[in-house]
Structure 1
């Protein structure tokens, strides 16, 4: 029985997706690549700056302008075309690559992503890994298929002595465990 690893998601089976790999012998993280070409707009777009100016000067912001700013600040989900399987007591941590903020101005807005073992092939989701990204640079950033965007680190986790796990089964994809 295999313990942990990556597989290509069925909808990308014929798209020459690269499975995550470690760059060096002692790398902890597996590089996660983009499955598609994608443009991540800069957060510093005009409507966002107008809203910031209004907030700074204690002016009211119209509902429409606030919504436009929210759309600009919304993170983008970049598909990887892969899913991860692991043991029930393990988690896959998705972390920023060290060079991404410095070289590309790309950050994970949630700091890290947590992928539970039951995200893989559950009843209503195949388990594709999606990378949540914000571009804090001055200009839009163009991601090419195959670009390394984040890294995945498999880790065991511990639970408390009096854990009150509900025994519920996951049914869903990205962000579904909080429902």
Structure 2
């Protein structure tokens, strides 16, 4: 039996929930389709603005009112899966090409990076979440099992004579610093 090198597993909290592991749609596909683990609504940022007659009504002074931040923020969509891979590799998360055209959904940071040491971390086991923002005029309902992003295993290089004190990963989204 060969040693495990890279792959996906269902996180403990979703065991028995019929979570499908990511797969490639065709033999030539680079990306593994990541699917939503739950039904979730991605609110329209424009709808919030229009319903409140503009940005000024969403604000208090120079800040967005707390009750309005959810409409203007990214939505974290859980996938129910985690990825394991060799040390000098990461899982690149990219938007599905149909998301912007058909659903007006985008990854607000353009891509996501799932580091090898994210797997099995103590805060969430390394569950992959996909950040989405809805720039369309209507809320988008993402259903459990909908393909929301693709993951591409990608090698990277490090510099010679790297001298650094590394932190221990305890979570995701900014866990290694601001």
Structure-2-length-normalised TM-score: 0.88
**Which residue number corresponds to residue 126 of structure 1?**
125
TM alignment of 1:64-83, pairs within 5 A: 66-67=64-65, 68-83=67-82
- For structure 1, list consecutive stretches of 5 or more residues without a partner in the other structure: 55-60
Give the unaligned 5+ runs of structure 2. Answer: none
Per the alignment, in what secondary structure is the counterpart of residue 128 of structure 1? coil
TM-superposition CA deviations, 1:27-84 (whole Å, max 9, x none): 00000000001111111124476444x5xxxxxx524972255331100000000000
Q: What TM-score do the two structures reach when normalised by structure 1?
A: 0.88
Alignment of 1:2-151 (within 5 A): 2-47=4-49, 50-52=53-55, 54=56, 61-63=59-61, 66-67=64-65, 68-151=67-150
Rounded to whole Å, the distance in 1 between the matches of 2:28 and 2:164 is 35
1:66 and 1:15, CA in 2 relative to 1: closer, same or farther beyond 3 A? same
Structure 2 residue aligned with 1:58: none
Question: Structure 2: how far apart are the matches of 1:12 and 1:69?
Answer: 31
Query: Runs ≥4 in structure 1, deviation > 3 angstroms?
Result: 46-52
Partners in 1 of 2:31 and 2:155 — Cα distance?
A: 14
Distance 1:135 1:155, change over 3 A: same
**Aligned residue pair count:** 173
